[in-house]
Amino acid sequence: MRASRGRGAQMRFVKVERPVQSGKHRLRLIGQNAYAAPIESLFRSSSSYRVEGELEVDLRPNALYRVNGVLQEFRQEVWLEEADSGVRVGALIMNEAVDQARKKAMEGAAYSCCNLRYEGDWISDTNAAGLPFIPAGTPIAIREFARNRIHVLVDGYPMTIGHDYGRKQETKEQFIAKLLIKADPGESINAFPPATQKAIRAGKVLRGMSKDQVIISLGYPRTDMTPVLEAPTWKYSTADGYEYEVVWSEDGHLADIRSEGAAVLSVVLQGN
């Protein structure tokens, strides 16, 4: 805050380090929003969050630690972690009232049917391979339906599901009914062969997988590219713009992946 003083709305970030002796310590951590211009704290008071608390730690010699945290509507947490590994050290400090509000907001949540790819806070019906994904079976609660999007809480984190491409083939209500289901798919996943489980948890596929298994891993294909799941091939895309096809055998198992460039490397589990 001192470094940003007199710079208007331009915030200057300064790295702050504090050398301490190794061994046991009792630390007080504080996480809160900061603004370059003090007046902003008045206009943003409804979205300014704070969490603080104490924890006991045993610090190693010659180690670097970092204070980290998250400040959101339903998650206000701060913790100490090893700078190199990111492993948390000591207890997690959280705003208990906010945590209770999160649990209440997640009451009645459904489960993600499949691995849902996302960018930032946006979950698109593209489900492009190569993006990070929310694992199948993650609790998701609907907050609000908008025109072509659905605002949700993903285990307490606010995100938006976008019905970006398949609007002519299905309504957003039909779309979200596929993605959010009552039964946790985790139970089904645990009953699959070990290699199939490994592929799904990596967001990839193996030849011989069933249609249900491929959907859990890759998500549903875009309905504008694959209008019906009875089609002999399903079309998908990758985050870098390539397209690939999932080819089905007559008995409904994955027979092949046809792809542009090296897209196959993004979707087929290697080394099996």
> pLDDT digit string (tens) for 248-263?
999 999 999 998 777 7
Q: Is 73 inside any structural domain?
A: yes
On whether both 144 and 174 belong to a single domain, the answer is yes
Q: pLDDT band for position 272 (50/70/90)?
A: low
135 residue type, one letter? P
**Rounded Cα–Cα distance for residues 210 and 254 (Å):** 6
Q: Is 166 inside any structural domain?
A: yes
pLDDT tens digits for range 29-55: 999 988 888 788 788 877 789 999 999
Tokens of 207: 């030849």
157 residue type, one letter? Y
Sign of CA pseudo-dihedral 86, 89, 92, 93: negative
Return the DSSP state at 98.
H
Q: Is 3 inside any structural domain?
A: no
CATH number at residue 175: 2.30.30
Domain boundary, last residue among 156, 181, 206? 181
Q: Are 254 and 152 in contact (CB under 8 A)?
A: no
Q: Is 261 inside any structural domain?
A: yes
Q: Is 56 inside any structural domain?
A: yes
CA atoms within 13 A on the CB side of 191: 6
Instruction: Give residue 23's region: left, alpha or beta (phi > 0; psi -120 to 50).
Output: left
Tokens of 178: 């596929």
On whether both 176 and 214 belong to a single domain, the answer is no
**Rounded Cα–Cα distance for residues 141 and 176 (Å):** 11
Q: Is 16 inside any structural domain?
A: no
Domain boundary, last residue among 104, 138, 154? 104
Beta carbons within 8 Å of 247's beta carbon, 6+ residues apart: 232, 233, 254, 255, 256, 257, 258
On whether both 200 and 133 belong to a single domain, the answer is no
Question: Residue 162: which domain range?
Answer: 110-181
Instruction: State the chain's mean pLDDT as an integer.
Output: 93
Q: Which residues pair with 66 in a beta bridge?
A: 81
Domain boundary, last residue among 140, 157, 181? 181
Q: What was the pLDDT predicted at 160?
A: 97
pLDDT tens digits for range 92-103: 999 999 999 999
On whether both 207 and 258 belong to a single domain, the answer is yes
Provide the whole-model pTM: 0.82
Compute the radius of gyration of the chain from its Cα atoms.
Answer: 23
**Rounded Cα–Cα distance for residues 90 and 59 (Å):** 10
On whether both 29 and 100 belong to a single domain, the answer is yes
Q: Is 5 inside any structural domain?
A: no
How many folded domains does the chain comprise?
A: 3
